[in-house]
Amino acid sequence: MNATLTLTRPDDWHVHLRDGEGLRAVVTDTARQFARAIVMPNLTPPVTTVAQAEAYRDRILAVLPAASTFTPLMTLYLTEAMLPLEIERASRSGLIHAVKYYPAGVTTHSEAGVRDLAHCSEALRAMEDLGVPLLIHGEVNDPAVDIFDRERVFIERHLIPLVQRYPQLKVVLEHITTASAVKFVLTADDNVAATVTPHHLLYNRNALFQGGIRPHYYCLPILKREAHRQALIRAVTSGNPKFFLGTDSAPHARSTKENACGCAGIYSAHAALELYAEAFEGAGALGKLEGFASHFGADFYGLPRNTQSVTLVRESWTAPATQPFGPETLVPLRAGEAIAWRLQAPI
């Protein structure tokens, strides 16, 4: 008999569901595994108001299978024009669970992001007062800074001053990739946490250059060297509730990844929990998966833990080479390769 692992149904605290035909193509992957997900607002145009978030939530719900109980948890995109009034509306809405801070120009659809955080002080103060979490893409957009150092430099230049200025602000440093980020989160107060992706737990930067350039391993923050991957593994398997699951699954059409200027983003929603299970098993810490995947994020966001469960079976399967993405296709993580665990279909 194959080994099995039953967990409280997990949540994904960071996912890109896109919109239109792309949304329709990917949403069921996330909804099959997770009870809830924090949905990123980096659409074009970005989701900057409660009204836009509500309309986006309705578009997500409209394409879910009728039997699905998946709940999208919506976010707003922070701009320098964000008024404290919109934060108050968001807080009252019961619909918006966080605000996302993209430093302008740092990644996909971040052009409308923040150039100078000092221009957001009133919105940040409102978030601190109302307990609305700030989700941070923690990289500098400074061409003078090496791409592998952008997270560390962001922490030094921007994040340490930010948490000093707003000591009660709930902060999630998203998709952390370095030992510097782990250290920052560990030494910060309890209102500061981090999400960790499956790809940053499973791969180091060699994956980008294995026998040639591999665009499907390109994401931002970029994969780092092995010592950083190990620091992430230690963090997530320590049982510390400051570290929880956020896939950053970010679908892009194959043609825009296999391109002279390929987009950043790795798609993992098709096998997210299975991939995390591999990473935890590799560290001999499967027993720590449930807290990371199913408990700590809900606790941080002040939401109830899920009551249903899911079961993983230790049974190898092959991920599809491609999958539909509207009129195009996308290449998922591990395309055409084996994945050691399989999520049992709900009965």
- One-letter identity of residue 155: I
In the stretch 235-274, what mask flags binding to Zn ion with x, by CB under 5 A?
-------------x--------------------------
Using CA atoms, how far residue 5 sits from 31, 241, 276, 287, in Å, is 20, 20, 13, 9
Nearer to ligand DOR, 10 or 265 (CB): 265
- The nearest distance, CB 192 to ligand DOR, in angstroms, is 19
The binding track of 145-184 with respect to ligand DOR, each residue x by CB under 6 A or -, is ----------------------------------------
Q: Give the Cα separation of 269 and 333 in Å (integer).
A: 9
Q: Which residue is nearest to Zn ion (CB)?
A: 248
Subset of 82-141 contacting ligand DOR (CB under 6 A): 107-108, 137
Neighbours of 19 (CB within 10 A): 13
Under rule CB under 6 A, how many of the chain's residues touch ligand DOR? 10
Q: Residue 107's binding partner, choosing from Zn ion, ligand DOR, none, with beta-carbon cut-off 5 to 8 A by kind?
A: ligand DOR
Please, are residues 37 and 69 in contact by the beta-carbon 8 Å criterion? no
For Zn ion, how many residues bind (rule: CB under 5 A)? Answer: 1
* Residue 250 binds ligand DOR, judged by CB under 6 A: yes
222 binds, among Zn ion, ligand DOR, none (CB under 5 to 8 A by kind): none
Give me Rg for the CA atoms of the chain. 19
Indicate which residue of 11, 12, 29, 248 is catalytic: 248
Q: How far is the CB of 228 from ligand DOR (least distance, A)?
A: 16
Q: Which of 8, 42, 178, 306 binds ligand DOR (CB under 6 A)?
A: 42
**Nearest distance from C-beta of residue 314 to ligand DOR, angstroms:** 30
For ligand DOR, the binding residues in 195-224 under the rule CB under 6 A are 219-220
Return the residues of window 252-281 that contact ligand DOR according to CB under 6 A: 264-265
Q: Is 37 in the site for ligand DOR (CB under 6 A)?
A: no
For residue 248, indicate whether it is catalytic: yes
Which residue in 16, 200, 216, 242 binds ligand DOR (CB under 6 A)? 16
Site residues, Zn ion (CB under 5 A): 248
Binding site for ligand DOR (CB under 6 A): 16, 42, 107-108, 137, 219-220, 250, 264-265
